[in-house]
Structure 1
Amino acid sequence: MIKFSCKVFITMLSLACLLAGVSTSARADDAFAKIKKSGVLKVAVYNDFAPFSAGGNGIDIDLADALAKKLGLAVSLLPFPAGDDLGDDLRNMVWKGHYLGYGPADVLLHVPVDPNLARQNKQVAIFAPYHRETVRLVTDVRKVPQFESLDSLAGKNIGVEKVSISAVVMLGAEDGKFRDNVKIYPTATEALAALKSGALDGVLASRSEIEAAVRDDPRYRISEVSFPRLPHKGWAVGMAVKKDDAELVRQLQDATADMVASGEMAKIFARHGVAVVTP
């Protein structure tokens, strides 16, 4: 039986770790090298998600194009419908691909930069926050002359998007006090269109969705409203790639930082009527 001294064992273990590190680094470099060789950056974006991505237009569409150009690449968009949860989206569009053969992309945009989400999805790297989102209430000032608290909405018809954080908090507010007057729409865009047509008195949605819909129209007031289950400062959104694509992470991180510093990011948001909030 061959016996190893402690020193020899530690030396061999260190060498193994070093080689593993080299292998991981090589895989990461190789992944980005393949993207460069292809000349195309594949970017996954959500369907029906105005003002970020809908019908081939939006903030994330413009961002995808700008990031690709900074990396010296063309862009190829992979629009897709949101899954039942973010884990599904990360699996289908980032690290594995859909079982129907769609994806994965090189990068997915509009991913919450959240430690819990990152811990639950160890196959991906989530990074480069480029915007901070919040939930806001928009009301028609002709129908809701003043807004001081949720009590101002008593008897008012408030629209929300189905299966959204806005729907959850509005339906549950004050033990369901406003539930009978909450109207569910397939998307926030449709709820906001109903508000502008006069069918609703207000809409609870993301600030970006609201700003893009009403712009500076004096007929509508955007108000901050507090719910116990909502983070006061909102949440940051960034992007996700496969865990071992370290060079791609670095390239995209640098490109995003340059766009923020130069004001290019703010201009992209402004084109769609939204004020960017840097995380």
Structure 2
Amino acid sequence: MKNDRRGFLFAAGALCAGALLPAHAAAQLEVQQAGTLRVAVYADFAPYSVRGKGVDIALAQALAERLGLRAEIVEFPADENMGDDLRNMVWRGHYLGRRPADVMLHVPVDAQFAAQNDKVAIFAPYHLETMAIARNPARVPTVAGSAANAFEVFTREKIGVELDTHASDFMLNVLNGRLRDNVVHFRSINEAVAAMGRNEVSAVMGPRSQLEASLKEHSGFELNALNMPEMRVSGWPLGMAVKADHKELAASLSAALADLQRSGELGRIFAAHGVTHRVP
């Protein structure tokens, strides 16, 4: 999933709730610069990371604090696929000279995907992302059941999707392509929801967290989960990735995340950005 983005394990740890990693232990972590946790997050990806703010940026800062380190945030543009992103930002670095990070956030925790990317360790799911549809209830009824029933309305009404995403692929191909003429593409979910506010489209399909955050600026719309037999991917856990041999760093990050969950801070981070946290 490249843009979704673009698109399970908790290792045992020695952190007590609310405690920082001792200085001598922090010094032993496999980080590139002593005292610093370099964290890669996607650029221009609200509500997760955009111009120094977002869920993933706040999470990176909280994780670094739990490890007794300073967070260095690297916002980077998505490449052609996530395998390229992992190569550029975790295990090798970019050919133009950008050095990799110590850890990358917003990585799908999936066994098959992990097997295809064995130069990294993918771990610590921190949120369950799901597909959803935001709709104008005056024009689109509650979306439920099979695509043949739920999406028949889009033979008449227009639906917005973000370019190069799972939602776009699905809407262009479902029902043997019958809906293609009513699928409108946008550069972001925010732009699609804004278009719905102007009555240019009657619904928007995409990841629930992005839709939920975008709808904060609009009233009168409803949000429905999508889980139909025709949909190949309806949900995926989001986690993080480090180099495959950085086992101590992975264990410490996992323990720090568990501490954030126990304390309720993880849920508060999501809520502060207009997103309901869903435990994977």
Matched, 1:133 2:107: no
Query: Secondary structure of the equivalent of 1:134?
Result: strand
CA gap of 1:160–1:227, structure 2 versus 1, over 3 A, is farther
1:134 is aligned with what amino acid?
T
Whether contact under 8 Å (1:159, 1:184) holds in the other structure is yes
* Structure 1 residues 199 and 216, CA gap change in structure 2 (3 angstroms): closer
Per-residue deviation, 1:189: 2.0
| Counterpart mapping for 1:1-279 below 5 A | 32-33=28-29, 35=31, 38-148=34-144, 149-215=150-216, 218-225=219-226, 226=228, 228-232=230-234, 234-279=235-280
For normalisation by structure 1, the TM-score amounts to 0.84
Shift of 1:200: 1.4
Q: Report the TM-score, using the length of structure 2 for normalisation.
A: 0.84
Who is 1:17 aligned against? none
Deviation readout 1:63-108 (Å, 9 max, x if unpaired): 0000000001111111111111111000000000001111200000
Q: Deviations over 1:11-44 (max 9, x none)?
A: xxxxxxxxxxxxxxxxxx9994463962110000
Q: SS of 1:82's equivalent? A: coil
Superposition RMSD on alpha carbons, in Å?
Answer: 2.0
Q: Any idea what the Cα deviations from partners look like across 1:227-251, whole Å, max 9, x if unmatched?
A: 524334x110100000111110011
Structure 2, unaligned stretches of length 5 or more? 1-24, 145-149
Q: Secondary structure of 1:38's partner? A: coil
Call closer, same or farther: CA 1:251–1:30 in 2, change over 3 Å.
Answer: closer
The answer (yes or no) to whether the contact 1:113–1:129 under 8 Å persists in 2 is: yes
Give the whole-Å Cα distance in 2 for the aligned partners of 1:267 and 1:145.
32
How has the CA–CA distance of structure 1 residues 260 and 30 changed in structure 2, closer, same or farther, with 3 Å as cutoff? closer
Distance 1:110 1:32, change over 3 A: farther
State the partner residue of 2:8: none
SS at match of 1:51: coil
Over the matched positions of the two proteins, sequence identity in percent amounts to 44
* Structure number with bigger Rg: 1
Kept after mapping to 1: 8 A contact 2:37/2:64: yes
Which segment drifts farther, 135-144 or 214-223?
A: 214-223
**Structure 1 residues 86 and 277, CA, compared in 2 at 3 Å: closer, same or farther?**
same
Name the amino acid aligned to 1:53.
S
Once the two structures are overlaid, the 10-residue window that deviates more, 166-175 or 192-201, is 192-201
